[in-house]
Structure 1
Amino acid sequence: MRKNLLFIFSAICLLAGCAQQPKLPTFRNTGNPLVKDKFTADPAPLVHNDTLYLYVGHDEYYEGQDTAHGGKEFNITEWLCYSTKDMQTWTDHGVVLKPTDFKWGIGEAWAAQVIEHDGKFYYYTTVQAGEPYNSKAIGVAVSDSPTGPFTDAIGKPLVTDDMTPNGPRGWWNDIDPTALIDENGQAWLSWGNGTCFLAKLKPNLTEIDGDIEVIDLPHYVEGPWLHKRGDLYYLTYASFGQGRENISYATAPSMEGPWTPQGELTGMAENSFTIHPGIIEFQGQWYLFYHNAVLTLDGHAGAIGRRSVCVDKLHYNPDGTMQTVVQTKEGVSK
């Protein structure tokens, strides 16, 4: 009898604990920008178990930001995650990773991507590294859940400036990682500012395997994104337009190339110097995520370091090329 009472008491406590867990906030998709209560940038979508997860950097205002330059316009100290099952109702999962979660990281949460493999979620991201690196570096964190907690997978950067074949460029050479596992099960990583790097990953997904290649892409600036559709691989990236970035892409029959430039996918983002593609198929529809800088929050207008994530539908031509995407205010809201 005593054992039964203890079991019942434990079950009641467990249920009470579950009931007390805070309910995550949600919001409706009312058009672009998608997220309207925070400045967000560098969208990275992932689909897992009929849910789309969207990872973004949290652009944060600070006093003096409007006159800052040389990279100090950006104040991004955490990555956020949102999810949806229908593109209309979104759940805010809050902060899922910070640069300081890497013991070698000292700040700046720049662009990232999360992929799933064998039940693990790998978070490839840009972190400002301290001694002895003193530059931007690529880190990798891992979790059993798409919403974390994520922990540093190897205790050191995955890619540092001394590894890349274009010579030392210091603080912004190794940024904006994107990852993909090809049809043969080989994992790849691409990244870079000013130079587009591409490398194989070892089966553990936490080590570079072999040489780091340079992919020659016209007007390449940063922000590569890898995806596959049908028999084609796509490398989409931020390219230099008329004084600001737009989005261009190249295609290849395999990750080994050759990569064929296909021109621009979309024009420059409204009010934003940067733009960053994130491409995913969800429930039979392809989407292009990107950011502009049209949102105003707390009296602070959008700017180079105060951006806002958007999404529009993406369509393909019969030959596999992507149709030009027109950035809209309606986005994919109903």
Structure 2
Amino acid sequence: MNKFTSLVATAVLSCSSFALAQQNPVFPGNYADPEGIVYNNTYWIFPTYSAPYEEQIFFDAFSSKDLVKWEKHERILDNKEVKWANKAIWAPAVLEKDGKYYIFFGANDVHPGEVGGIGVAVADKPEGPYKDLIGKPLIQENVNGAQPIDQFVFKDKDGTYYMYYGGWKHCNMVKLKPDFTGILPFEDGTFYKEVTPENYVEGPFMFIKDGKYYFMWSEGGWTGPDYKVAYAIADSPFGPFKRVNTILEQDPEIATGAGHHSVIKVPNEEKYFIVYHRRPLGKTSAHDRVTCIEELHFDEQGLIKPVKMTFEGVSHP
């Protein structure tokens, strides 16, 4: 082997090793607002199809046994099954209850006086097909200044289901009926509570760790480079949610526009992953967003450590 051939062989080997090591983005295509969850020992990601609003009329989903190799499930829900949704179907929130699988979603980028808002669909399998549950938006009104989008459904310790939602820098919480066909009043008789933390813009998410409620959200503008994720810790699902810190933001060496995330906990382990979208360097279109995963770490006080974005992503959990 001469010197030139040796150099070529080394370069090919290096490229192959890089290809094997690079796991972010976790699957090809423009996908954003990823909701990660574990169903039956399989990891699932339900993202927004990132495209102009008139083309955002369906959801794909992705499943994996190891967070590395992903299987695509196409059009698990589209607007043929949601008659009132004609564009901007985005930001799914997912859960399983009593053997049924649910997707909550925003549709139509609704403004006051328009038809749209937060809907819910149901299926017998994680990969669908999903059908509109109630045939109309679950929440359509603009309450407390919160656009009815970016919903996250949270099951509390006592089995109560709450939904946190809202764009336009306002976040509400509501109490869901057990069958998800509507909302119930809180103990004080009200139906909506505003829980907006400092700098909140959109994309709420909640999980419980060591008895504490970790409430997370996105800040900045989703179309620009300064999108980011911050969080609060509270003793109750009602807050108050006092901002602790930013934990995910752009990195000039990796990507910009990092935000609208979710968190996956490995079953039976104290191991957590953050699933989020970011905009690759050199990309400027609002729709150039890709889904990525990093491990989420905590310090001794339970505070979330800043997330370092990588191209390597995660290996088998």
TM-score band, normalised by shorter chain? 0.7 to 0.9
Could you tell me which residue of structure 1 aligns to residue 144 of structure 2? 165
- 1:102-181 matches, within 5 Å, as 102-128=82-108, 134=114, 136-162=116-142, 164-166=143-145, 173-181=147-155
AA matched with 2:212: L
**Counterpart-to-counterpart distance in 2, 1:243 and 1:103:** 35
State the percentage of identical aligned residues: 29
Could you tell me which residue of structure 2 aligns to residue 206 of structure 1? 181
SS in 2 for 1:105: coil
- 1:287-302 matches, within 5 Å, as 287-294=273-280, 301=283
**Counterpart-to-counterpart distance in 2, 1:129 and 1:41:** 16
Could you tell me which residue of structure 2 aligns to residue 276 of structure 1? 260
**Counterpart-to-counterpart distance in 1, 2:109 and 2:199:** 28
The total of aligned residue pairs comes to 286
Q: TM-score w.r.t. structure 1 length? A: 0.78
- 1:1-334 matches, within 5 Å, as 30-36=22-28, 38-60=29-51, 75-128=55-108, 134=114, 136-162=116-142, 164-166=143-145, 173-193=147-167, 194-210=169-185, 211-240=191-220, 244-268=226-250, 272-273=256-257, 275-283=259-267, 284=269, 285-294=271-280, 301=283, 303-333=285-315
**Counterpart-to-counterpart distance in 2, 1:183 and 1:33:** 33
Unaligned runs of 5+ residues in structure 1 are 1-27, 63-71
Offset from partner CA, 1:234-279 (integer Å, 9 cap, x none): 2111013897221001121121223232111111376544621111
327 and 75 in structure 1: CA distance in 2 versus 1, 3 angstrom threshold: farther
**Counterpart-to-counterpart distance in 1, 2:153 and 2:94:** 8
1:224 Cα deviation (Å)?
A: 0.8
Once structures 1 and 2 are overlaid, which stretch shifts more, 257-266 or 233-242? 233-242
Unaligned runs of 5+ residues in structure 2 are 1-19, 186-190
Q: TM-score w.r.t. structure 2 length? A: 0.82
**Counterpart-to-counterpart distance in 1, 2:298 and 2:79:** 37
Runs of 4+ residues over 6 Å off in structure 1? 129-132
1:174 Cα deviation (Å)?
A: 1.2
AA matched with 1:33: P
